[in-house]
């Protein structure tokens, strides 16, 4: 019994030594948790801050300026921009340059002074369901506070009219299902590509592939097309199901959708192939996928708005393909996307594809030589 116990202790000691001496294992148990803890602490927040607002003030009186000053002095609102018409506001919301619009009509001060109820229009971007509801809540609190200040005895004299563009009823299903399509497509694409080369290494067939007459570019193309085709078919099927089975509107064009999906999935194939090219086993490839996915999802704007993150993390999101993939999916489904918007969101994805596929090809060349 004692000998058996000693053998078990020796085995446990050996496993600890193997884990500690293996550089990749040390990275998994030390570096990965620390990096993710820093990202979790800075990127995840249920608050909505740094809100940018555009104001149409047709009244231009002391009363309307006092109300606007309330927003300017609020800690939740970072910037208040004055504009002239609703078309400018639509353009700013479409391009996600602002999160909220405020419309003050030209008889605002007259009705306030006469203690007659007046209306104020709040416009939010309904594509970000949770953020839109929270922002409308912040604005309503400020307006109601001002209403009680100007009329402490007669009660509220300002009626708040909220409008949520591209998702009028703030249907959470519209938001979450478009994101689920993206996430499932990302996971499937990464798994298919990241495990392909690692699987061949474990089976011993990758060495035969390396010494074959195929060039590194040929290998790259052969490894890219099958997962890309599978992911495209899967994405189209899921989008069809989301639209016709769950009632999520599809406002954009099918052609724009196919282009966006192809470019987005190509960037994910590049990431998966690069992970696979530097991993020796399927287990390492799975760890590589996890190490990429968790920070990438956190920095995509899915859980917390990118605008609420620290500046250095906001800049880091430009290297995150999932951020632009999600943005394209929401834009095409809920709003419809212009050619310019499609191009703007596609350029970073194309750049990421070129970089990751080039790195994977370079890795193949190094192994052939």
Q: 297 burial class (0-12, 13-18, 19+ CB within 10 angstroms)? A: buried
- What DSSP element (H or E) covers 80? strand 77-83
Residue 367 confidence (pLDDT): 63
> In terms of pLDDT, which residue wins out, 304 or 122?
122
CA distance 72 to 65: 10
Q: What is the mean pLDDT of residues 76-103?
A: 85
Three-state DSSP state, 253: coil
Residue 72 confidence (pLDDT): 87
pLDDT band at 177 (very low <50, low <70, confident <90, very high): confident
pLDDT band at 351 (very low <50, low <70, confident <90, very high): very high
Q: Which range among 76-85, 188-197, 299-308 shows the weakest confidence by mean pLDDT? A: 299-308
Task: For the chain, list the domains and their CATH numbers.
Answer: 8-44+169-367 (no CATH), 51-150 (3.40.1710.10)
Q: Which sign does the torsion angle of CA 191, 192, 194, 198 carry?
A: positive
Give the max Cα distance, the chain. Answer: 95
> In terms of pLDDT, which residue wins out, 154 or 237?
237
Mention every residue, 6+ apart, whose C-beta is less than 8 A from residue 119.
105, 158, 159, 160, 161
Strand stretches in 92-140, DSSP E: 100-104, 118-125
- Residue 30: pLDDT over 80: no
Degrees to nearest 5, angle at CA 217 with 212 and 220: 90
Residue 28 confidence (pLDDT): 54
Mention every residue, 6+ apart, whose C-beta is less than 8 A from residue 169.
none
- What DSSP element (H or E) covers 234? helix 216-245
Q: Do 122 and 77 meet the contact criterion of CB atoms below 8 Å apart?
A: no
Q: Average pLDDT over the chain, rounded to whole?
A: 79
pLDDT band at 180 (very low <50, low <70, confident <90, very high): confident
Q: Which range among 95-104, 185-194, 304-313 shows the weakest confidence by mean pLDDT? A: 304-313
Read off the pLDDT of residues 106-144 as tens digits, 9 standing for 90 and up. 888 888 888 788 888 898 887 777 788 888 888 888 888
Mention every residue, 6+ apart, whose C-beta is less than 8 A from residue 340.
none
Residue 96 confidence (pLDDT): 77
- Residue 36: pLDDT over 60: no
- Residue 198: pLDDT over 80: no
Residue 240 confidence (pLDDT): 84
Would the pTM of this model clear 0.85, i.e. be above it? no
Residue 153 confidence (pLDDT): 62
Record the tokens describing residue 184, joined without a space. 């499932």
Radius of gyration of the chain (CA): 26
Q: What is the mean pLDDT of residues 267-272?
A: 88
Read off the pLDDT of residues 230-255 as tens digits, 9 standing for 90 and up. 888 888 888 888 888 877 888 888 88
Residue 137 confidence (pLDDT): 84
Residue 326 confidence (pLDDT): 86
Residue 269 confidence (pLDDT): 87
- Residue 212: pLDDT over 70: no
């Amino acid at each position: 019994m004692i000998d058996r116990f000693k053998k078990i202790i020796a085995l446990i000691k050996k496993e600890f030594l193997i884990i500690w001496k293996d550089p990749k294992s040390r990275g998994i148990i030390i570096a990965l948790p620390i990096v993710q803890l820093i990202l979790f602490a800075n990127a995840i927040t249920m608050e909505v801050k740094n809100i940018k607002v555009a104001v149409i003030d047709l009244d231009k009186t002391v009363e309307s300026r006092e109300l606007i000053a309330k927003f300017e002095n609020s800690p939740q609102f970072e910037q208040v921009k004055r504009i002239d018409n609703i078309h400018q506001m639509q353009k700013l919301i479409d391009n996600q340059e602002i999160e909220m619009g405020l419309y003050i009509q030209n008889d605002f001060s007259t009705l306030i002074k006469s203690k007659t109820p007046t209306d104020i229009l709040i416009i939010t971007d309904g594509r970000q369901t949770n953020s839109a509801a929270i922002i409308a809540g912040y604005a309503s609190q400020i307006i109601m506070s001002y209403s009680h200040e100007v009329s402490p005895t007669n009660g509220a004299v300002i009626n708040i009219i909220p409008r949520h563009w591209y998702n009028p009823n703030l249907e959470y299903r519209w938001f979450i299902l478009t994101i689920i399509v993206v996430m499932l497509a990302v996971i499937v694409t990464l798994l298919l590509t990241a495990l392909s080369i690692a699987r061949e290494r474990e089976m011993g067939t990758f060495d035969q592939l390396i010494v074959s007459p195929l060039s590194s570019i040929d290998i790259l193309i052969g490894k890219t097309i099958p997962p890309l085709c599978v992911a495209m078919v899967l994405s189209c099927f899921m989008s069809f199901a989301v639209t016709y089975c769950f009632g999520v509107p599809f406002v954009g064009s099918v052609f724009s959708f196919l282009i966006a999906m192809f470019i987005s999935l190509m960037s994910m194939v590049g990431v998966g192939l690069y992970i696979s090219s530097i991993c020796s086993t399927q287990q390492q490839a799975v760890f590589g996928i996890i190490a990429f996915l968790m920070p990438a999802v956190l920095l995509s704007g899915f859980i917390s708005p990118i605008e609420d993150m620290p500046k250095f993390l906001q800049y880091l999101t430009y290297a995150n393909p999932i951020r632009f993939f999600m943005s394209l999916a929401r834009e095409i489904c809920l709003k419809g996307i212009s050619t310019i918007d499609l191009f703007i969101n596609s350029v970073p994805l194309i750049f990421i594809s070129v970089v990751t596929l080039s790195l994977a090809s370079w890795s193949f060349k190094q192994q052939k030589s």
